[in-house]
Structure 1
Amino acid sequence: MTTLHPLTQYTSTSHRMARRFIRRFIARPILSSVVAPSVEGQENVAGLEGAYIVVGNHSSHLDAPMMFTLLPSDITDNLATGAAADYFYRRRFVSKLTALFFNTYPIERKGKIKKSSGRGLKTQDGPSPAAGMTGRLLKAGIPILIFPEGTRSRDGRMGEFKAGAAALSQKLGVPIVPVALIGGYDAMPVGTFWPKRGRHRVKLVIGAPMHAEVDETVEHYNARIRACVAAMRATGHPHTGEGAEAA
């Protein structure tokens, strides 16, 4: 019988306080030393509680650090994000480190199946302990972060959004929080391992929470979410979300 990956980390007060300390005294100072960050739209998520899905465009390794240091603390205190089980969860030290900085949970990719071990997760036939983590977290009231493009942009342009986040939002009745990340590609494009010199300007723009409309298809809802993120990315200002036109 397979033991599912525990949810203790995501509900623990001590874990939450440790992550808050790291964000404030380690991650945020490091980010501010290599880029010039700004954020707009915090009022759109004031008082937001429970489960929701933060979605954003993905163009740089700076995206996750930007999300976890620039979003309001009320959001990042509980926000969890998926990390490839076959890469980040092979070694216990790496998995613990990424969990502390980004509150990660394991997700499977390329059909690889994992099993818990003293050194992390290892490949083995059978059900995965990481199976269904995204849904389990949302049902437990834990908000999650998803980059719907699935991979970083290779040329700075925003790609198509996979419909997984929209489908989860619609199925579980949780809102989508659209976020646009601006400047990450110019500061740290694919193929680089550290931001360029000169403290490039980067910006996080937070839109108003979005919900699926009555009888709306997942495809149309997903297109509306993408249109909202694209509009904020183009203008550099928050969008209400609900008025975004699907492309």
Structure 2
Amino acid sequence: MWYWLFKFVLMGPILRLIGRPKVEGLENIPASGPAILASNHLAVVDSFYLPLMVPRRIYFLAKSEYFTGTGLKGGFQRWFFSSSGQIPIDRSGADAAAGALLSARRMLDKGELMGMYPEGTRSPDGRLFKGKTGLARIAMETGVPVIPVAMIGTDDLNPPGTTIPRLARITVKVGKPLDFSRFDGMTGNRFIERAVTDEIMYELMQLSGQQYVDVYAASLKDKKPSASDEDDRPENPAA
């Protein structure tokens, strides 16, 4: 109930006023059944504008710290993220990535839409960065279609490091579903998973018009060498 109240009453009208959003290619999202919406990630508000413009409910993965706070603030935060379709994942320990993938698979098995950011974190400078292979792994294991989605203009409304939104014009571009059934039986092959991930990123580059950079966004933020795919730690979609 709270998800729809947020969308249509509490937050939706305000988001529409300040972002003047429009959506293209909405017909590419199935009316029912599981699918993964693979989106670029420019700003915190990506996780609000994408659900706003898609009729179906979308679920995202969020770090478990958002659900374990104490006191009034912790309670409000837990309620807000739960109500807005966020699924808690534990990002600590060696099994963090596996736990996140399992959570995503459970929702897909129920026929839901999963929103995922293959870059793993927000772009630090507006460019499109190398994708991590977790999304490809899920797509190959479940056989669900991957639908590329380009968020455009959200970083104008919510630039990195800012909390007060600015007036902007946001566009959500939905591409045609990608079918990776030709790779049936190849799950676990890191070269195939990389090929699938790169195909998704290419479609996002075409949709968004962003410049592509073949390094992980997190490596620029941390100023460290980029991690290998085996060390992927799923980021909170609203990070």
- Short-chain TM bin: 0.7 to 0.9
- 1:185 matched to 2:155: yes
Equivalent residue, structure 2, for 1:84: 63
1:226 aligned residue (201, 218, 225):
201
Matched, 1:165 2:135: yes
Whether 1:109 and 2:91 are equivalent positions in the alignment is: yes
Tell me how far 1:140 sits from its aligned partner: 2.4
Please give the alpha-carbon distance, in whole angstroms, between the structure 2 residues aligned to 1:85 and 1:221.
28
- 1:61 equivalent to 2:44? Answer yes
Q: How many residues align?
A: 198
Answer whether contact 1:35 1:195 (CA < 8 A) is retained: no
- Is 2:193 aligned against 1:214? no
Counterpart in 2 of 1:39?
A: 23
Q: CA separation of 1:204/1:175 partners in 2, compared to 1, >3 Å: closer, same or farther? A: same
| Contact in 2 for aligned 1:181/1:233 (Cα 8 Å) | yes
Q: Check conservation: 1:62, 1:184, Cα contact below 8 A.
A: yes
CA deviation digits over 1:140-170, x for unaligned, max 9?
Answer: 2222111111111111111111111111001
| Partner Cα separation in structure 2 for residue 36 and residue 131 of structure 1 | 34
Distance 2:11 2:209 in 1: 27
Residues 229 and 37 of structure 1: is their aligned pair in 2 closer, same or farther, counting only changes over 3 Å?
same
> Greater share of helix residues, 1 or 2?
2
The root-mean-square deviation of aligned C-alpha atoms, in Å, is 2.5
Shift of 1:27: 2.0
Give SS of 2:104's match.
Answer: helix
* Offset, 1:112: 9.0
Query: In 1, distance between residues paired with 2:148 and 2:177?
Result: 7
Separation in 1, partners of 2:47, 2:16: 14
Q: In structure 2, do the counterparts of structure 1 residues 163 and 170 end up closer, same or farther at CA, with 3 Å as the change threshold?
A: same
8 Å contact from structure 1 (residues 44, 207) kept in 2: yes
Shift of 1:24: 1.0
Higher relative contact order (CA 8 A, sep 6+): 2
1:148–1:162 contact (8 Å) kept in structure 2: yes
Shift, 1:50, TM fit: 1.7
Post-superposition offset of 1:181: 0.3
Length-normalised TM-score, structure 2: 0.75
Distance across 2 between alignment mates of 1:149 and 1:205: 17
Gaps of 5+ in 2: 187-191, 211-239
- Cα distance in 1 for partners of 2:102, 2:182 equals 26
2-structure distance, mates of 1:56, 1:136 = 20
Does the 8 Å CA contact 2:66/2:78 hold for their aligned counterparts? no
Cα deviation, residue 88, structure 1: 4.0
1:50 aligns with 2:20: no
The answer on whether the counterparts of 1:54 and 1:144 sit within 8 Å (CA) in structure 2 is yes
Identity of aligned residues (%): 28
State the secondary structure of the residue aligned to 1:204: strand
Q: 1:92 to 1:111 in 2, by over 3 A?
A: farther
Q: 2:146 aligns with which of 152, 176, 179?
A: 176
| Kept after mapping to 2: 8 A contact 1:170/1:211 | no
- What is the identity, as a one-letter code, of the residue corresponding to 1:234? G
Equivalent position of 2:111 in the other structure: 141
